[in-house]
Amino acid sequence: MRLASVESEECGEIKEGTIVDASGKHQIFIRNFIPRFVTGDTYADSFGEQWNRYRSVQIDSENNLNLSAQRFYRWTGWKKDELRGLRILEAGCGAGRFTQVMLDADATVYSFDLSSAVDACWRTNGPNDNLCLLQADIFQIPCKTESFDRVFCYGVLQHTPDPKAAFLSLIPFLRPGGEISVDCYIKSRRLNRWTAKYLWRWITSRMSRQRLFKVVEWYIPKWLPIDTFLAHVPVIGMWLVGIIPCWNYTGMLPLSGEEIVSWAILDTFDALASKYDLPQTLEEVSSWFKEAGLGNVRVDGGSNGIVGNGSRS
pLDDT digits (tens, 9 = 90+) for 188-244: 988 889 998 999 999 999 999 999 999 999 999 999 999 999 999 998 998 899 899
Between 271 and 11, name the one with better pLDDT.
Answer: 271
CATH no. of 32-186+279-312 = 3.40.50.150
CB atoms within 10 A of CB 134: 20
Could you give the CA distance from residue 208 to residue 301 in angstroms, rounded to a whole number? 33
> Is pLDDT at 271 greater than 90 in this prediction?
yes
Give the per-residue pLDDT at 103: 98
Contact between residue 133 and residue 36 where contact means Cβ atoms under 8 Å apart: no
Q: How distant, in Å, are the alpha carbons of 226, 235, 248, 284 from that of 241?
A: 9, 12, 9, 29
Residues in contact with 282: Cβ distance below 8 Å, sequence separation at least 6, in sequence order: 186, 299, 300, 301, 306
Q: Is residue 10 predicted with pLDDT exceeding 90?
A: no
Return d(Cα 201, Cα 195) in angstroms, integer: 11
The whole model's pTM is what?
0.95
The pLDDT value given to residue 98: 98
Closest CA to 102 of 46, 183, 14, 181: 181
Interior/surface letters 136-168, b for 16+ CB within 10 angstroms, e for the rest: bbbeebeeeeeebbbbbbbbbbbbbeebbebbe
Tell me: the pLDDT tens digits for 144-199? Answer: 999 999 999 999 999 999 999 999 999 999 999 999 999 999 999 888 899 989 99
Residues of the chain with CATH 3.40.50.150: 32-186+279-312
Question: What residues contact 225, with CB distance under 8 A and at least 6 apart?
Answer: none
**DSSP H helical ranges for 105-191:** 117-125, 163-170
CB atoms within 10 A of CB 235: 7
| Percent of the chain scoring above 90 in pLDDT | 86
Burial 179-213 (b: 16+ CB within 10 A, else e): bbbbbbbbeeeeeebbbbbeeebeebbeeebeebb
Rounded alpha-carbon distances, angstroms, from residue 50 to 4, 54, 95, 118, 273: 33, 6, 9, 12, 9
Res 21: pLDDT: 79
What string of DSSP letters covers 218-269? HHHHHHHHHHHHHHTSTTTHHHHTTSS-----TTTS---HHHHHHHHHHHHH
Q: What is the pLDDT of residue 79?
A: 97
**In this predicted model, which residue has the larger pLDDT, 139 or 191?**
139
pLDDT at 1 over 80: no
Q: Is the pLDDT of residue 40 over 90?
A: no
